Structure 1
Amino acid sequence: MMKRPKIICHMLTSINGKISGAYMNSKYAIAGSEAYETTNGSYHSQAWLCGRVTMEKNFTHFHKPELKEIETPYPRTDYVAQGNAQMYIVSADPTGKVGWIENTVEYENRPEAHVIEILTDKASDEYVAYLRERQISYIFAGQVLIDCTLASEKLLNLFGIKTLMVSGGGYINWSFLQEGLIDEVSIVMTPATDGRTDTNTIFERADNLPEIAPVGFTLKSVDIIEEDTLWLRYGVDK
């Protein structure tokens, strides 16, 4: 019996595997952006997960958390502010840096999503209090680096998340992949590139992670979407 959600890595990419860059604002990416949402909805997930930088860029606009001095720290235990939300957005934020203003996010046509922070022991007591004050759920998973396996198990057990979409950036995608947690890779590929070398790809190993053998995939399906956009689905060869 699986103790974790089914996990799909679902990404919008350029033709050369980039997940950000100027190409995303081009006419070539319009159909892909629409298809990304449509295909995302087809999985009927209860949550999607992104790394800290993605959250700051797209949702908090790099707002810094306003931390206050505290006399009595909250215990280092998981906190479920809302256990029956229709949708969750999960922030992989090891040291606690994302400056959330609200405890929910509205994105595209998805249901309003309650925020869950994944923290490690490196997060400060002041940041934990910051989340509590805003009624933002959080779980602890790992001492320095996020233990994606433990986090996944807690997302199922505490919040009832049975299907989780992992949606970048490249480092958090790779962290889930290297722990053997990705069940499917879903790529909506736009017919464009901008040639940039300073943007992320779908999977990237952080320098502080050990190098492992290459991961292989098995093709499940290819769908041609309008305007020359492809939807590629892969299983992970385990």
Structure 2
Amino acid sequence: MSPKRSRSSGRSGRPYVICHMGPSVDGRIVTDGWPRSARLSAEYERIHAALGADAWIIGRISMAPYAGRAPLPARGPRARVPRTDFIARAEAPSYAIALDPSGRLRWESGAIDAEHAVTVLTERVPDRYLRFLRDRGVSYLFGGRDRIDVPAVLGKLRARLGIRRLLLEGGGKINGSFLAAGVIDELSLLVAPVADGSVGTPALFDAGESGPRLRLRLLSAERRPGDLLWVRYRVVNAAAPARGRP
């Protein structure tokens, strides 16, 4: 199957979600100290581009180095900002999306390279943070009152931004929340020739003690430079308990 062939949207009006990750053979995802990690990173980015997605999504901690450290404006007695979605740039060629429930990212601009920045919040974020995002030209979507509802967010990404194909590239908890919500359609795993073995190191998925056990169908397996193995799976049974909320 060609990586660029399918541009179809996912189920029920949401994007087609590909979880694209570069784990060790034992499923660890923190690459610090791995041999030849630069080769893994370069090959990972090549595949990221080849998958032809409209957007990629990660969590707050992973996005922080990209967003920057801009200061928040001072508090002031200004009018309350409505808890409605704000789209700073419609019809962007691609989007970089962060899940940031409490509004902690300090965006320096509304773009990461050529990709428009979008952040997903809960309604509990303060007014001055919403004004900060508007001033920076960062789009924001509300994913829930107190917690982020993953399926609802995916519906907004499709309806509000026209995203049809989304790369999920988060940490174990973010990936686990998508897994638990039953919204991952495909896995793209660039397996590194490393056995990590570290106790407590984040893994590919962390969906809790009784996470869903999904059945997968192998689409392809390809040897890549540096003894890397690119494996793609289609998720066969995506139904899962509705607890996929970070």
Question: Cα gap change, 1:67/1:203 in structure 2, threshold over 3 Å: closer, same or farther?
Answer: farther
C-alpha separation in 2, matches of 1:20 and 1:143 = 31
Question: Cα gap change, 1:158/1:89 in structure 2, threshold over 3 Å: closer, same or farther?
Answer: same
> 1:144 is aligned with what amino acid?
D
How far did 1:65 drift? 4.7
Over residues 9-57 of structure 1, what are the superposed CA-to-partner deviations in whole Å (9 max), with x where a residue is unaligned? Answer: 0011122211113245x32x3332222122112221111000011111x
Residues 64, 97 of structure 1: 8 Å contact kept: no
Over residues 115-171 of structure 1, what are the superposed CA-to-partner deviations in whole Å (9 max), with x where a residue is unaligned? Answer: 100011222222111101111100001122211111111111111111010101111
Give 5+ residue unaligned stretches, structure 2: 1-10, 238-246
TM-score (norm 2): 0.85
Residue equivalent to 1:31 = 39
Name the SS of the counterpart of 1:22 in structure 2: coil
Pick the aligned partner of 2:90 from 67, 83, 90: 83
Pick the aligned partner of 1:68 from 74, 82, 94: 74
Q: Percent identity?
A: 33
Over residues 70-109 of structure 1, what are the superposed CA-to-partner deviations in whole Å (9 max), with x where a residue is unaligned? Answer: 4112211000000121111000001111111111112xxx
Residue equivalent to 1:139 = 141
Q: Verify: 1:21 aligned to 2:23, yes or no.
A: no
Name the SS of the counterpart of 1:41 in structure 2: helix
Residues 52, 98 of structure 1: 8 Å contact kept: yes
> 1:140 is aligned with what amino acid?
F
CA RMSD of aligned residues (A): 1.9
How far did 1:194 drift? 4.2
Give 5+ residue unaligned stretches, structure 1: 107-111
The range that moved more, 154-163 or 122-131, is: 122-131
TM-score (norm 1): 0.88
C-alpha separation in 1, matches of 2:124 and 2:200 = 28
Residue equivalent to 1:177 = 179
C-alpha separation in 1, matches of 2:234 and 2:94 = 25
> 2:222 is aligned with what amino acid?
D
Residue equivalent to 2:126 = 124
Q: How many aligned positions are there?
A: 226
Question: Cα gap change, 1:187/1:94 in structure 2, threshold over 3 Å: closer, same or farther?
Answer: same
